[in-house]
A = this chain, B = another copy of it.
Amino acid sequence: MAKELTSRSENYSQWYNDLVLKADLAESSAVRGCMVIKPYGYAIWEKIQAELDRMFKETGHQNAYFPLFIPKSFLSKEAEHVEGFAKECAVVTHHRLKADPNGNGLIVDPDAKLEEELIVRPTSETIIWSTFKNWIQSYRDLPLLINQWANVVRWEMRTRLFLRTAEFLWQEGHTAHATREEAVEEARKMLEIYADFAERYMAMPVLKGVKSANERFAGALDTYCIEALMQDGKALQAGTSHFLGQNFAKAFDVTFVDKTNKIDYVWATSWGVSTRLMGALIMTHSDDNGLVLPPNLAPFQVVIVPIYKNDEQLAAISEKVNEITPKLKALGISVKFDNNDNKKPGWKFAEYELKGVPVRLAMGARDLENGTVEIARRDTLTKETVAIEGVETYINQLLKDIQANIFQKAFDFRTSVTRDVNSYDEFKIEIEKGGFLMCHWDGTPETEEKIKEDTKATIRCIPLEGDKTPGVCMVTGKPSAQRVVFARAY
């Protein structure tokens, strides 16, 4: 089973694809570029959703739901937005099929052409701001803090499961504020929530920063982002939070009366993370044996595999399992007891390794006699035999250790491939090795564009934290305010 995985060193991209398929996370569908998220993959996404949703609500946001379709004319209303978003998308032109008069199934009914085409939302700023216009009159209606869990579609030519698909699932926050300062604060706050979630739940270290103009969201004044680093040394943008200024308020004429009775346009933010996080999660921790899941997001954290020769032994083991399980559950630990008789223990071991279950317990007749159980941890692939008595406390601590360990491992890896680079010649050599390169840049789109053309590297972000020493651009020698992060990216 696990043997069928291509190794990372052999072909990282193939390893990723193998893993997504064989661990039953997702697969391609009959519709080009659209994926099927399988139950095991979806269970991880549900965990991600639940934690984020809780964090959004704790910070005062409310969920709502807006239409799937956007009238074509809406997309042209915000000048920059249309450039970035309105191109590769699914266009609905008709609203009826009819039987083919020649008897070949169904055809589009030419009489059912829409007056105005509808676009399947690639993102919802336009439809939401057209709605906000009716919701906002006065400063008393602000701030308006809305989130939506939804599917979106962006037509993509080259797709990869989770990382880049035509349809994907995401959440998109859309907020409205009375002042610039408050909107910037909101955008920064949501960035902090994303970073906190990535680090504490996904066990994935992220850099917090702001995008250069080239990489900014179409229609934003500033795009804040969290950037993660995958094991192959490529960066992955894991979440973005945009300060939109008054652009969408102006495009949709959303004004409010402030406390001094003055009328002004509303200030906006939007922010989102998507099923792309699944790709980031997989690539941050997994190994050649399969998936490695952080305990905080694993659909089940512990699997118990009985090892028995006959029904009597299975009965005795089951009895012991029935004692342990409620104790684990009382500590909030999720457990699966796999007593499926069709599969051998060895097969099950490989299967749960492939699926990244953090802790595996194996219990046989001799364990029962000795009052012990064998515990294997997925992250280090090590085993120990421990006493059954009090095993729930042991496992509770072990899950915390695993969560901390895989974070630290990813953090150490990132540290090991993050380095300062001071000349463009050196940069061209170093970029081939992957990782984050911290470089001085003159702040111009032209220089960034040249670097991208020469090396396929982009500015992942201008870091918000860390070293702020000025210097000179590695390409042009012009002044640079601080080092920025370059990498090749997903």
- Spell out A's residues near B (CB within 8 Å): 27, 29-31, 34-39, 42-43, 45-46, 62-76, 82, 86-98, 105-106, 108, 117-120, 127, 130-131, 134, 140, 146, 150-151, 153, 155, 167, 169, 342
Most buried by B among A39, A95, A118: A95
Q: Which residues of B contact A92 (CB under 8 A)?
A: 90-93, 120
**In the complex, A89 Cα to B109 Cα: how many Å?**
11
> Are A169 and B65 interface neighbours, CB within 8 A?
yes
**In the complex, A108 Cα to B68 Cα: how many Å?**
18
Q: Which listed residue, B36, B106, B146, touches A39 by the CB 8 Å rule?
A: B146
- Minimum CB–CB distance from A91 to chain B (whole Å) comes to 4
> Are B97 and A75 interface neighbours, CB within 8 A?
yes
Q: Which residues of B contact A118 (CB under 8 A)?
A: 31, 90
**In the complex, A342 Cα to B117 Cα: how many Å?**
44
> Are A69 and B89 interface neighbours, CB within 8 A?
no
Q: Which residues of B contact A65 (CB under 8 A)?
A: 36-37, 42, 45, 169
Q: Which residue of B lies closest to A135 (CB)?
A: B38
**In the complex, A140 Cα to B343 Cα: how many Å?**
11
> Are A34 and B69 interface neighbours, CB within 8 A?
yes
> Are A67 and B127 interface neighbours, CB within 8 A?
no
Q: Which listed residue, B87, B97, B155, touches A89 by the CB 8 Å rule?
A: B97
> Are B31 and A72 interface neighbours, CB within 8 A?
no
**In the complex, A30 Cα to B73 Cα: how many Å?**
11
> Are A36 and B66 interface neighbours, CB within 8 A?
yes
What would be 21 A-B contacts, judged by CB atoms less than 8 Å apart? A29-B66, A29-B127, A31-B69, A31-B70, A31-B118, A34-B68, A36-B64, A36-B65, A39-B64, A42-B63, A42-B64, A46-B63, A65-B169, A73-B106, A82-B106, A87-B96, A87-B98, A88-B95, A90-B92, A91-B93, A150-B151
- Minimum CB–CB distance from A170 to chain B (whole Å) comes to 12
Q: Which listed residue, B63, B86, B106, B134, touches A86 by the CB 8 Å rule?
A: B106
> Are A95 and B155 interface neighbours, CB within 8 A?
yes
Q: Which residues of B contact A167 (CB under 8 A)?
A: 67-69
> Are B95 and A29 interface neighbours, CB within 8 A?
no
Known: A88-B96, A91-B96. 5 other contacts (CB 8 A): A30-B130, A68-B151, A91-B97, A96-B155, A150-B151
Q: Which residue of B lies closest to A94 (CB)?
A: B91
Q: Which residues of B contact A146 (CB under 8 A)?
A: 39
**In the complex, A327 Cα to B62 Cα: how many Å?**
25
Q: Which residue of B lies closest to A72 (CB)?
A: B106
> Are B91 and A108 interface neighbours, CB within 8 A?
yes
Most buried by B among A92, A98, A120, A130: A92
**In the complex, A130 Cα to B28 Cα: how many Å?**
12
> Are A342 and B93 interface neighbours, CB within 8 A?
no
- Minimum CB–CB distance from A459 to chain B (whole Å) comes to 28
> Are A63 and B43 interface neighbours, CB within 8 A?
yes
- Minimum CB–CB distance from A397 to chain B (whole Å) comes to 28
> Are B93 and A108 interface neighbours, CB within 8 A?
yes
In the A-B complex, list the 6 residue pairs whose CB atoms are closest, starting with the nearest.
A76-B105, A34-B67, A39-B62, A37-B65, A91-B94, A95-B155
**In the complex, A63 Cα to B49 Cα: how many Å?**
13
